[in-house]
Structure 1
């Protein structure tokens, strides 16, 4: 059985296993590490689908399938992870956990090339409508990404506001500046550092949201919060 430690070994030392993970793939699954960490804590409270770790949901399908547990559609692993983490956090009254699950759901997944979009989940309907309202960011260099990613951030802001937290946190789900199509390294402007507890996209000042603070404010106008207790994220 694969573990979180196993997948890290496979990713960083591809020669250690018979089926190597190719380095010429975009790597950014740890770019927003603070949210990944919180989702892991929530997911581990109750994990009936035996998802190995939230990091798998942000990998490309070939690597993600090793940790999907009972989830039958790898394209839906990120959504399923977020949905279960949200369910667990909601049951505990944990706004921090719910917000993290929402932001995690909106994060961009790894793909094989700059400008390559990830596939949407269509086979599984989330239990939580808050999760259903959000999809993952797309590579900023992919077709229509600017509009797609802005809509995701605005929808995320609305869900965060309904929980009583700061809707501007939705901007933290943003991805990187567009890379160069055809980049042979497939790295683009991304970063990936599992040892950066905050997330290298923040500490390296690489976050490039598609929406603005003013657009977030306008999008949440009139939304009534279900809670008056915000999360711990800043």
Structure 2
């Protein structure tokens, strides 16, 4: 699902979360779950050997993601690499909220070029098994998305519980209602508000839960399992957003 809002950031400006100044970029950004991007950035910057500029780049198409990927060359894995390093840092600090935010961030839907198009699956293995167990949500209008995204949310709940977090937080990784496959704008039923610190998917009540609280409780009780792997594709290879 592609978002078209533009957020110009001048070279003299630093990100809200204290990252290094971002120079000369103006790209579409996925900011709907902003509080989790902010928290992930805070953990990431504690130790950022790959010099990833900001978690938002991991949610963009590859053409735009390259500008903030640092030394990460497999852009289909930038979201995972960002979450993995942030999780590592939060774990070292004993920060359960930071670990939880990194897990949620890893599971957020990544932009693609049109409504109904799935994003590419990262085939590399994350350093942290909690991150390795997760995949990103897929466009809700894509084939099999309801079952796929539900499986991802239930696995996310298990991983959050394993680090001592509230498993119901997994519901926050959900996405929007399905868009119209004939929508040529590619926007779907999304939002993208730069100055909404909470995240517009929450403040505008646009999030569609993938599972019920009872299903999450049952998944935690059952334990085990892994998120259904989204079908691989080429959605992000040349996507400018």
Whether 2:165 is the aligned partner of 1:165: answer yes
Asked if the contact 1:176–1:208 (Cα under 8 Å) also holds between the matched residues in 2, the reply is yes
Larger RCO (alpha carbons 8 Å, 6+ apart): 2
Whether 2:130 is the aligned partner of 1:156: answer no
| 93 and 172 in structure 1: CA distance in 2 versus 1, 3 angstrom threshold | same
Q: How is 1:75-94 mapped onto 2 (pairs within 5 angstroms)?
A: 75-94=76-95
What secondary structure does 1:220 align onto?
helix
Residue 179 of structure 1: CA displacement? 0.3
Asked if the contact 2:156–2:170 (Cα under 8 Å) also holds between the matched residues in 1, the reply is yes
Query: What is aligned with 2:52?
Result: 51
Q: For 2:22 and 2:95, how far apart are their aligned partners in 1?
A: 29
Where does the alignment leave 5 or more consecutive residues of structure 2 unmatched? 1-10, 16-20, 224-241
Q: For 2:113 and 2:207, how far apart are their aligned partners in 1?
A: 21
Asked if the contact 2:41–2:54 (Cα under 8 Å) also holds between the matched residues in 1, the reply is yes
What RMSD in Å do the two structures reach over aligned CA positions?
1.7
Query: What is aligned with 1:37?
Result: 38
Asked if the contact 2:149–2:210 (Cα under 8 Å) also holds between the matched residues in 1, the reply is yes
Give every structure 1 segment of 4 or more consecutive aligned residues whose post-TM-superposition deviation is greater than 2 Å: 2-9
Asked if the contact 2:35–2:198 (Cα under 8 Å) also holds between the matched residues in 1, the reply is yes
| 175 and 7 in structure 1: CA distance in 2 versus 1, 3 angstrom threshold | farther
Residue 99 of structure 1: CA displacement? 0.1
Higher helix share: 1
Query: What is aligned with 2:227?
Result: none
Asked if the contact 1:109–1:136 (Cα under 8 Å) also holds between the matched residues in 2, the reply is yes
What secondary structure does 2:27 align onto?
helix
Asked if the contact 1:113–1:182 (Cα under 8 Å) also holds between the matched residues in 2, the reply is no
Query: What is aligned with 2:26?
Result: 10
Q: How is 1:111-190 mapped onto 2 (pairs within 5 angstroms)?
A: 111-122=112-123, 124-190=124-190
Q: For 2:93 and 2:218, how far apart are their aligned partners in 1?
A: 31
Normalization by structure 2: what TM-score?
A: 0.82
| 7 and 142 in structure 1: CA distance in 2 versus 1, 3 angstrom threshold | farther
- Count of aligned positions: 206
Whether 2:105 is the aligned partner of 1:104: answer yes
Normalization by structure 1: what TM-score?
A: 0.84
Asked if the contact 1:86–1:101 (Cα under 8 Å) also holds between the matched residues in 2, the reply is yes
